[in-house]
Amino acid sequence: MDERILVEGLKQGDEAAFKTIVETWQNMVYNTALGIVQNAEDAEDIAQEVFVQVYQSISSFKGESKFSTWLYRITVTKSLDHERKKKRKKRFGFVRSIFGDQNEVLVNPPDFHHPGVTLDNKENAAVLFKAISELPENQKVAFTLNKVEGLSYQEVSDVMKTSVSSVESLMHRAKNNLRKKLEDHYNRGK
């Protein structure tokens, strides 16, 4: 169905339109969140939040961009918020551990295995995702949208509200940083 008709339907409060929207874009939203937060439960939680926000703020969507671009923006924002919150919690846990509170246990997350990666690439992809998680936010978003979601540089620039040349530069820096991190990783012998 045409996305404009669906959006208009949702603006009128049509539940069938909302159901079609969720079913059409749920995997796109989930996969993007999963690429950024690298945890299946958290990614599903974020996907739910994204569609709740879509339902509540559909009136603010004016159709200036594609609906999918708007959805990507909400997903990226929520995923980055989630990451920041997690980092804050980790830092707070570290401070508590310095002051002798042993209730907060710092656990390094296990390697993330993306379900869409082929079996022969599984190990390498886990190493790559670990390196991606250490990239600065903008580089992480650009790299994830391009490599995990398969968006073109033009589409990535639309989502990130920046120019194609900026995306090219972000991708270049992301690849250089990843190369350095992977080199450290393989030199350490793990």
Partner 1 sequence: MSKQSDIGKRIDETLESLRGVQRAELSPWFFTRVKARLERDQHNIWETAGSFMARPAIAIAGLVLILCINAFIVFEKDTLPSDPASISSNITEPVEEYVLNAANSNYDYENLEP
Binding residues for partner 1, rule: CB under 8 A, are 19, 22-23, 26-28, 30-31, 34, 40, 43-44, 47-49, 51-52, 55, 114-118, 121, 124-125, 127-128, 147-149, 175, 178-179, 182-183, 186-187
Q: Give Cβ neighbours of residue 84 (< 8 Å, ≥ 6 apart).
A: none
Of 94 and 186, the one with the shorter C-beta distance to partner 1 is 186
Q: Min. distance of Cβ 105 from partner 1 in angstroms?
A: 26
**Each residue of 87-121: b (16+ CB within 10 Å) or e?**
eeeeeebeeeeeeeeeeeeeeeeeebebeebeeee
Can you list the alpha helix ranges (DSSP code H) found in the chain?
A: 3-11, 15-37, 40-57, 67-98, 122-133, 137-143, 153-160, 164-188
Q: How far apart are the first and last CA of the chain?
A: 49
Of 4 and 122, the one with the shorter C-beta distance to partner 1 is 122
Of 48 and 69, the one with the shorter C-beta distance to partner 1 is 48
Q: Min. distance of Cβ 121 from partner 1 in angstroms?
A: 4
Of 53 and 69, the one with the shorter C-beta distance to partner 1 is 53
Q: Min. distance of Cβ 149 from partner 1 in angstroms?
A: 8
Phi, psi (degrees; rounded to nearest 5) at 152? -75, 165
Q: Min. distance of Cβ 77 from partner 1 in angstroms?
A: 18
Of 97 and 114, the one with the shorter C-beta distance to partner 1 is 114
Torsion of CA 69, 170, 49, 86, to 10 degrees: 180
Q: Min. distance of Cβ 177 from partner 1 in angstroms?
A: 11
Of 104 and 123, the one with the shorter C-beta distance to partner 1 is 123
Q: Min. distance of Cβ 90 from partner 1 in angstroms?
A: 22
- At 111 the three-state DSSP class reads coil
Torsion of CA 118, 124, 128, 129, to 10 degrees: 50
